[in-house]
Structure 1
């Protein structure tokens, strides 16, 4: 008999910093602080007029954010995922479901356990 696969869990720290402009998460916690986002500092990107700011996954999860899962009208094996209200640059992901497993194409910046559970089915 096969050993059951343990459930996938989010990081043990919900206090890592997330850029509010682009949604990138850094391996720096809120106590250490951070004042610049490597992605937003890239010349091809932009820094908001208000300057760079960061939040944490814990703060987002305490808010009213949620990920919406909607089947693609053109292909029933594809589920579109986006965050409401919009966060970061409003990324959309596509969950491609196959008999051999799921493929997550692209990403959303906001994660919660419900999203992890749905993607890892």
Structure 2
């Protein structure tokens, strides 16, 4: 399976947000992100649209700034890996995983699991 792994271990190529292109798809993603608690409201299509991570995007885990400080492309290339930021991210990811199991359909959860909840596996590659 082809992958596009982010610096924190997410897989963009199976992410519904990254793959949403039409207005209808973007709206469904915005509604899902709201339902699982990743947004406080159903945000606009422009806000939910994603082209992948870059040094210009804000990271909720502050990892973009961290990899720049440590002069690496991904967290698993850093001599401090795994660090406190990674450990905190993995704890939050487990909380998100439990919440998504409750609030998502089986199909939605399966997609989110492949996109977001295999971070440690993806970072080990």
TM over 0.5: no
So what's the TM-score if we normalise by structure 1? 0.31
Considering only CA atoms, is the larger Rg found in Structure 1 or Structure 2? 1
Of Structure 1 and Structure 2, the greater helix share is in 2
Q: Which has the higher contact order (CA 8 A, sep 6+)?
A: 2
So what's the TM-score if we normalise by structure 2? 0.31
Of Structure 1 and Structure 2, the greater strand share is in 1
